């Protein structure tokens, strides 16, 4: 075995791959070889480290120096300067956006040291394509312990005692669900992992599958033993090809090692897993629709009960859990339900992974104990809002959730508190919006999403959301009318109460929550035909300030519709009727004389 003086982690999560990390890594490996360092230094390709907007990212151990936005040239420089001569390259370090200080090591970054990583314990740490690295971090030990020392009842009892709740959105107690499926009588049962991750802006499931696929395989196998199933399915959305590839590779490796397949660990328990790839339908994240899709059918939901635990895939009892839910199982088995129960709040145990995106300094994945406040996540962990702008709102729960405003910055993020605050946990997407976001436009955006994704099976969802969308569309175009908000409320109530599945039942949520918190913005759109945030194009007009215009004529030249008139050296003016609000003149004017209101 070779001993290395230093290990260099290169993040190869999807974000960093898009940023070109594979070229960066190639350059690093190549330069190391040229310098003769390849026997002393090991370069490891890991899953998502979490700091997606800083990619490509490199961490040099044992020091733990964190380099960001590393180009191929930078990588060669790291090899020559840092790896060969031991000099940290200050230029490539991360700068704390709040204090402007350079951060020398990984451990000193608030982004990392405020986190508690259970579900993400291996993501960004090991090479997901090498099973031995997973095993070296206690991988498959939980499975061995379960199969050789525990009964199915004991496994169910442990998961129940941990207090773990489903991370896919609804927060249903996981142990209870396992118990239902265990007690269902049948000669055939199934375990399904929901990796459809439909909430736009959430990418934790993707990162776990790409960064630590064996954790899911091991947990599903444990679940199979606990409920009495011998076949598992992972339903992955087609938008995640890298996750599919790494999972497939991991499945093959696990079979080779005998962790999957017939007579696992020489016991009489057999279990195997197949991958099913989705085809672009949000509603397939809903469990009954997902099961229909695995069967090769249109992904339309059906009423529950019967719940999948009783009647699921091909009519057989089926346990269905989310990726992040499964990612918590092995640590619970290894360290015990008591340990897990000490993390988090009274009713929400453990940690939650949030995908923080939008107008935020550190976009990426963070895993924090349940009950951390929104302020701590946005400001302490994620470095606040960029460009000196103000925090306006954060959307949690995606298109089914609601928004939290400045007044709610100190609410604890757990299942119950978020619901009491008019939002929900959802799958953990957290979209931060600054003062430039228009809350009428955002409501329209979310409804446009649910409307488009409505499967069409039930009328309130198919037609009701369409009517709501039409009203919001009108508002953003300056055609809002008195009574529109009341009409939205009325429709919302009907849709909520009469839709067949969670998609419809929750579709009005963002609209209601945004009206509640930002009523004056809605009134401005309806009564004054004004968009206070300056987003809704149709409500904007352009003007040239006489005191700033120098009469250079640049604006008139870039105007695509010849809506700007004037003579050189005199003040130009814009003819409203012809203006198509393309913003070209505003961008072009060197004197800041064009203004938008």
Ligand X SMILES: Cc1cc2nc3c(=O)[nH]c(=O)nc-3n(C[C@H](O)[C@H](O)[C@H](O)COP(=O)(O)O)c2cc1C
- DSSP state letter for 316: S
CB count within 10 Å of CB 150 equals: 18
Q: Which stretch binds another protein (CB under 8 A): 165-173, 201-209, 303-311, 501-509?
A: 201-209
Give the nearest distance from C-beta 311 to ligand X in angstroms. Answer: 15
Radius of gyration of the chain (CA): 27
Q: Which of the listed partners (ligand FES, ligand X, another protein, none) does 278 bind, with a CB threshold of 5 to 8 Å by partner kind?
A: another protein
Give the nearest distance from C-beta 176 to ligand X in angstroms. Answer: 10
Q: Which 36-95 residues touch another protein, going by CB under 8 A?
A: 51-53, 55
For position 133 contacting another protein by CB under 8 A, the verdict is: no
For position 495 contacting another protein by CB under 8 A, the verdict is: no
| Cα gap 283→507, rounded to integer Å | 12
Of 191, 151, 164, 490, which Cα lies nearest the Cα of 313? Answer: 191
Of 327, 303, 234, which Cα lies nearest the Cα of 272? Answer: 234
**∠ CA 223-201-307, rounded to 5°:** 35
Contact 235, 276 (CB under 8 A): yes
* 14 vs 501 by CB, closer to ligand X: 501
What are the φ and ψ backbone dihedral angles of 359, each rounded to 5 degrees? -90, 80
For position 384 contacting another protein by CB under 8 A, the verdict is: no
Q: Which 269-288 residues touch another protein, going by CB under 8 A?
A: 276-282
Which residue is nearest to ligand FES, using beta carbons?
Answer: 200
* 201 vs 384 by CB, closer to ligand FES: 201
For position 433 contacting another protein by CB under 8 A, the verdict is: yes
Q: Which of the listed partners (ligand FES, ligand X, another protein, none) does 21 bind, with a CB threshold of 5 to 8 Å by partner kind?
A: none
Size of site (CB under 8 A) for another protein: 52
Contact 323, 209 (CB under 8 A): yes
- Residue 245 has which token pair? 């590839």
Can you give the binding site for ligand X, defined by CB under 6 A?
A: 166-170, 172, 194, 196-198, 283, 285-287, 320-322, 325, 427, 501-503
Give the nearest distance from C-beta 125 to another protein in angstroms. Answer: 18
* 253 vs 362 by CB, closer to another protein: 362
Can you give the binding site for ligand FES, defined by CB under 6 A?
A: 200-201
Q: Which stretch binds another protein (CB under 8 A): 148-156, 187-195, 232-240, 470-478?
A: 232-240
Contacts of 53 (CB under 8 A, 6+ apart): 15, 362, 363, 364
Q: Which of the listed partners (ligand FES, another protein, ligand X, none) does 168 bind, with a CB threshold of 5 to 8 Å by partner kind?
A: ligand X
> In terms of residues, how long is the chain?
597
| Cα gap 363→489, rounded to integer Å | 34
Give me the helices (H) in 108-164, please.
110-113, 131-136, 141-149, 152-162
* 201 vs 383 by CB, closer to ligand FES: 201
CB count within 10 Å of CB 61 equals: 15
| Cα gap 24→10, rounded to integer Å | 9
Burial of 338 (0-12, 13-18, 19+ CB in 10 A): exposed
Residue with tokens 């919302």, as numbered in its chain? 492
* 175 vs 201 by CB, closer to ligand FES: 201
Burial of 512 (0-12, 13-18, 19+ CB in 10 A): middle
The residue from 298, 481, 567, 576 that contacts another protein (CB under 8 A) is: 298
* 199 vs 408 by CB, closer to another protein: 199
* 197 vs 286 by CB, closer to ligand FES: 197
Give the nearest distance from C-beta 396 to ligand X in angstroms. Answer: 15
Give the nearest distance from C-beta 399 to ligand X in angstroms. Answer: 8
Binding footprint of another protein on the chain (CB under 8 A): 14-15, 17-19, 51-53, 55, 197-203, 206-207, 238-240, 276-282, 293-300, 355, 357-359, 363-364, 395, 398-399, 429, 431, 433, 437, 445-446, 455
């Amino acid at each position: 075995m070779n001993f290395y003086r230093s290990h260099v982690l290169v993040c190869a999560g999807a974000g960093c791959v898009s940023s070109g990390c594979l070229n960066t890594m190639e350059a690093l490996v190549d330069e190391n070889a040229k310098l003769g360092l390849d026997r002393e230094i090991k370069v490891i390709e890991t899953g998502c480290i979490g700091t997606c907007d800083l990619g490509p990212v490199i961490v040099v151990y044992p020091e733990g120096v964190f380099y960001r936005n590393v180009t191929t040239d930078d990588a060669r420089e790291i090899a020559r300067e840092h790896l060969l001569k031991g000099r940290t390259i200050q230029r490539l370090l991360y700068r704390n956006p709040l204090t402007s200080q350079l951060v020398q090591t990984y451990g000193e970054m608030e982004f990392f040291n405020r986190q508690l990583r259970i579900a993400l314990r291996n993501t960004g740490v090991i090479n997901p394509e090498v099973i031995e690295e997973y095993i070296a971090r206690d991988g498959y030990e939980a499975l061995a312990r379960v199969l050789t020392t525990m009964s199915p009842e004991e496994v169910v009892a442990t998961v129940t005692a941990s207090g773990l709740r489903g991370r896919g959105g609804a927060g249903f107690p996981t142990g209870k669900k396992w118990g239902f499926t265990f007690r269902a009588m049948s000669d055939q049962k199934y375990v399904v992992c929901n990796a459809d991750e439909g909430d736009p802006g959430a990418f934790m499931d993707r990162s776990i599958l790409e960064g630590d696929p064996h954790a899911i395989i091991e947990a599903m196998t444990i679940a199979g033993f606990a409920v009495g199933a011998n076949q598992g399915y992972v339903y992955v959305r087609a938008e995640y090809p890298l996750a599919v590839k790494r999972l497939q590779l991991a499945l093959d490796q696990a079979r080779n090692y005998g962790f999957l397949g017939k007579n696992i660990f020489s016991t009489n328990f057999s279990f195997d897993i197949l991958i099913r790839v989705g085809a672009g339908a949000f509603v397939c994240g809903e469990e009954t629709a997902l099961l229909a899709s695995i069967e090769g059918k249109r992904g339309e939901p059906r009423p529950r009960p019967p719940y999948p635990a009783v009647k699921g895939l091909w009519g057989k009892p089926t346990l269905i859990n989310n990726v992040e839910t499964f990612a918590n199982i092995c640590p619970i088995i290894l360290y015990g339900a008591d340990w897990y129960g000490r993390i988090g709040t009274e009713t929400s145990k453990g940690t939650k992974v949030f995908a923080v995106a939008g107008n935020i300094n550190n976009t990426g994945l963070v895993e924090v104990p349940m009950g951390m406040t929104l302020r701590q996540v946005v400001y302490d962990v994620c470095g606040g809002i960029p460009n000196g702008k103000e925090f306006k709102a954060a959307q949690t729960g995606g298109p089914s959730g609601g928004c939290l405003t400045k007044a709610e910055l100190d609410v604890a993020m757990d299942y119950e508190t978020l619901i009491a605050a008019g939002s929900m946990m959802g799958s953990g997407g957290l979209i931060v919006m600054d003062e430039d976001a228009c809350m009428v436009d955002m409501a329209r955006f979310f409804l446009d999403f649910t409307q488009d994704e409505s499967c069409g099976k039930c009328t309130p969802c198919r037609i009701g959301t369409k009517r709501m969308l039409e009203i919001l569309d009108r508002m953003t175009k300056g055609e809002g009318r008195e009574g529109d908000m009341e009409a939205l409320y009325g429709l919302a109530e009907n849709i909520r109460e009469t839709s067949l599945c969670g998609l419809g039942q929750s579709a009005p949520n963002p609209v209601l929550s945004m009206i509640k918190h930002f009523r004056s913005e809605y009134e401005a759109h309806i009564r004054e035909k004004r968009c206070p945030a300056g987003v809704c194009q149709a409500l904007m007009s352009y003007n040239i300030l006489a005191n700033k215009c120098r009469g250079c004529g640049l604006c008139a030249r870039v105007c695509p519709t010849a809506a700007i008139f004037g003579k050189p050296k005199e003040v130009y003016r814009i003819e409203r009727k012809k203006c198509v609000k393309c913003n070209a003149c505003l961008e072009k004017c060197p004197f800041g004389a064009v203004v938008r209101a």
